């Protein structure tokens, strides 16, 4: 996440573009998976990692940096002046943090994001 903040402070345009792409990606994802069971949601998030990375790579955010924004954009996409469904957000945090298939660091990022949003 430090890379993201540093890039934003430098005026690097790939991060805002990547966050915009991520919002579209996650909105589409949750339109299909918001009502999944916890295990189905976890599996869907795990399966979404590579397509997510490919989506943000379209604006130049390469894989190591793409995975650094996965948790914050996934959970953050559910927030709009509050969570319409806070339990869904908590389920996402649990799914990401308990996953053994997601790249290293995404689960711990999800826990941090959950704390940031007081979930």
Q: Read off the pLDDT of each residue in 74-95 and give the average, rounded to a whole number.
A: 97
Write down the pLDDT at residue 8.
Answer: 83
Domain that holds residue 10: 2-116
Question: Residue 81: pLDDT band by 50, 70, 90 thresholds?
Answer: very high
Long-range contacts of 85-90 (CB under 8 A, 24+ apart): 85/34, 86/119, 88/30, 88/34, 89/114, 89/117, 89/119, 90/114, 90/119
Q: Which helix (H) or strand (E) holds 36?
A: none
Q: What is the pLDDT of residue 2?
A: 77
% of the chain residues with pLDDT over 70: 100
- Structurally, the chain folds into a number of domains equal to 1
H or E element at residue 70: helix 70-76
């Amino acid at each position: 996440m430090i890379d993201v903040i540093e890039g934003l402070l430098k005026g690097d345009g790939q991060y805002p573009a990547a966050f915009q792409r991520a919002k579209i990606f996650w909105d589409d994802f949750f339109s299909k998976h918001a009502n999944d069971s916890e295990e189905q949601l976890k599996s869907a998030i795990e399966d979404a990692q590579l397509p997510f990375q490919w989506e943000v790579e379209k604006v130049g955010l390469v894989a190591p940096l793409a995975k650094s924004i996965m948790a914050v954009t996934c959970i953050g996409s559910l927030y709009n002046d509050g969570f319409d469904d806070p339990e869904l957000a908590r389920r996402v945090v649990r799914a990401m943090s308990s996953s053994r298939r997601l790249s290293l660091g995404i689960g711990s990022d999800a826990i941090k994001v959950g704390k940031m949003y007081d979930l």
